[in-house]
Amino acid sequence: MYTAQRIMEEYAKEQNTDSLGLFELVVNEEEKRMDFRLSSWVLLLAEHFKSLYGASQGDFVTRQVISRCITKDETLH
């Protein structure tokens, strides 16, 4: 959890925000449409755990960390 919290805090600091969302709104002005994508911090977190534990276990750990943050009301808003 410490590493995940550090990644989230660094991302929030870079983005100058107090809260993090799981998704970001992406606007494509050429096509005049909007889409949602996973936030960059989620991708950073996933890549970190993938490099430590491999693809399958890394995905599991990422999901567990995000779930814990949501259910324990930590960091994510």
Digit-coded pLDDT (tens) for 18-54: 888 899 999 999 999 999 999 999 999 999 999 999 9
- Of 8-17, 22-31, 52-61, 68-77, the poorest mean pLDDT is in 68-77
Q: What is the pLDDT of residue 33?
A: 96
- What's the pTM? 0.76
How would residue 69 be classed by pLDDT, with cut points 50, 70 and 90? confident
Phi first, then psi: what are they for 19, rounded to 5°? -135, 155
How would residue 17 be classed by pLDDT, with cut points 50, 70 and 90? confident
Q: What is the pLDDT of residue 74?
A: 54
Q: How far is CA 73 from the centre of its chain?
A: 15
Name the average pLDDT for the chain: 89
CA–CA distance, 20 with 39 (Å, rounded to integer): 8
CA–CA distance, 29 with 50 (Å, rounded to integer): 33
